[in-house]
Structure 1
Amino acid sequence: MTQLTLPGFEAPRLAAEHRLFFAAMPDPDTAARIAGMAGWLRSEMHVEARLLRTGRLHITLHHLGDFVCVPEVAVARACAAATSIDVPPFGVTLDRISSFNGRPGHRPLVLTGSTGLDALIGLQQGLGEALRGAGLRVSRARFTPHLTVLYDEGRVDPRAIAPISWTVREFVLIHSWLGKTRYDVKGRWPLKGSGPSV
């Protein structure tokens, strides 16, 4: 039997508390270098917003969605899809800083790369195909690799920075607790493919 609601007494919508996404994360030493460089730039540019914690620095590969409860079936499908990725480790270099659009007062300040990100883009595309093959919805929008260091209300003009490089040796599935600055890693997949990097 269908349950009816009276006008003005609709059931409240529950707020999403969980986010799932795949990411490439810098190793701890690289994350510390990024944080140090970002702290210096923040001071030079007179930005007051706080930096993200080093343990949260990442390049998002695919956002799987925001949820009221963690959908374990989707997690299982995502993990199964991730095991099909066969890519060797590859290098990433970030050498520019700029602002991306975002909510008012919450614009991401990000690091990007000017060249040499083909392997990262290839990983993102291959993972997207595997996730779609597993029945999951992922965006087909153009992927612009970036690493967010803070959120601020101002906007920064793009500028070159001293390059920061590292070798991507794995990618991870992260469960983010929204509003609680907590990340749980749901799975890790080492890059150890024997073929040419994508």
Structure 2
Amino acid sequence: MTESLFFALQPDVTAITQIQQVSAGLCAQHDLSTRFITADRLHVTLHFVGDLAALSQDQLEHAHAAAAAIKLPAFELSFDKVLSFRSAKSERPLVLASNASMTALQLFRYELGDQLRRRGVPADKTVFTPHITLAYDKYAVEEQILAVPVKWTAREFVLIKSFVGKSRYEVLGRWPLGAA
């Protein structure tokens, strides 16, 4: 079994309820037959750390140290549209995304990446498109604006171990964000 690690933000209970309502609406509107991502797996990926088998114990400890070094305030996230991302695979990611810049999220991700790189843990500097994957489906949903955006305040971030292909996650660490 392949296991990978990544840092992420997870929606709070209220946002999860909103996401489930959006998902139900999409099913009805587009006659989707796909299974949506379960509530415990909804997240915004921040940085992929790597394949667990390829990481040394030192790299894992450095990833934890990088997370502990983050001293930033809590911030609001707002996702106001749904669309299907393009994909070379037959099933496209159906996602919640945002027309807003989400500057605080972008700065937070940059700081986390910088802390990881300082400790020798690889972290992408690529363009970051904040999103929450809802499902994978052959049917492409054109961009549509939500009547009510999905919002929550990010008060912590997590390191997740993904059991690839098993639709299961395990949270390996949680770090709080300061008062907003």
Q: Tell me which interval the TM-score lies in, with the shorter structure as reference length.
A: over 0.9
CA displacement at 1:42 relative to structure 2: 2.0
The CA deviation string for residues 29-56 of structure 1, in whole angstroms up to 9 with x for no partner, is 3112211221211221112111000110
Alignment of 1:35-184 (within 5 A): 35-68=20-53, 71-161=56-146, 162-184=148-170
CA gap 1:180/1:71 in 2 versus in 1, 3 angstroms? farther
**1:49, 1:133 → 2: CA distance?**
41
Q: What percent identity do the matched residue pairs reach?
A: 37
SS in 1 for 2:112: helix
Other-structure match for 2:175: 189
CA displacement at 1:118 relative to structure 2: 0.6
SS in 2 for 1:180: coil
One-letter code aligned to 2:73: P
**2:114, 2:154 → 1: CA distance?**
20
| Bigger helix fraction | 2
Does 2:9 align with 1:20? no
CA displacement at 1:116 relative to structure 2: 4.9
**1:101, 1:64 → 2: CA distance?**
24
Contact conserved, 1:18 with 1:177, CA < 8 A, in 2?
yes
TM-score (norm 2): 0.93
**2:149, 2:11 → 1: CA distance?**
14
**1:97, 1:185 → 2: CA distance?**
27
How many corresponding residue pairs?
Answer: 179
TM-score (norm 1): 0.85
Contact conserved, 1:18 with 1:70, CA < 8 A, in 2?
no
**2:162, 2:84 → 1: CA distance?**
23
What is the CA RMSD across the aligned residues, in angstroms?
Answer: 1.7
**1:54, 1:71 → 2: CA distance?**
31
CA displacement at 1:61 relative to structure 2: 0.4
CA gap 1:46/1:70 in 2 versus in 1, 3 angstroms? farther
The CA deviation string for residues 48-71 of structure 1, in whole angstroms up to 9 with x for no partner, is 111000110000000112344664
Return 5+ residue gaps in structure 1 as ranges.
1-15
CA gap 1:21/1:28 in 2 versus in 1, 3 angstroms? same
Q: Which runs of 4+ in 1 moved over 3 A?
A: 67-72
